[in-house]
Amino acid sequence: MVEVTHEGRLAATLRGDRAATFLDDMDALDHQGQQDEMARLTGNYKRGNERLAKQHPRNR
């Protein structure tokens, strides 16, 4: 069993084959790659709207 946490709070729990695959992937990745993979697992990754938000009058 693998628990992925963010700032001390549980973000995802992996068990069985999925946990084993995750651990194998972590061994093959650098730090940024590991962060990206955990973001994908938890669904917390860029959604493509960052450019639009940057152009919003509130953010200028």
CA 15 vs CA 11, 49, 60: distances in Å: 14, 32, 44
pLDDT tens-digit readout, 9-59: 898 999 999 999 999 999 999 998 898 888 888 877 666 666 666 777 777
Token pair, residue 14, equals 């992996």
pTM assigned to the model: 0.64
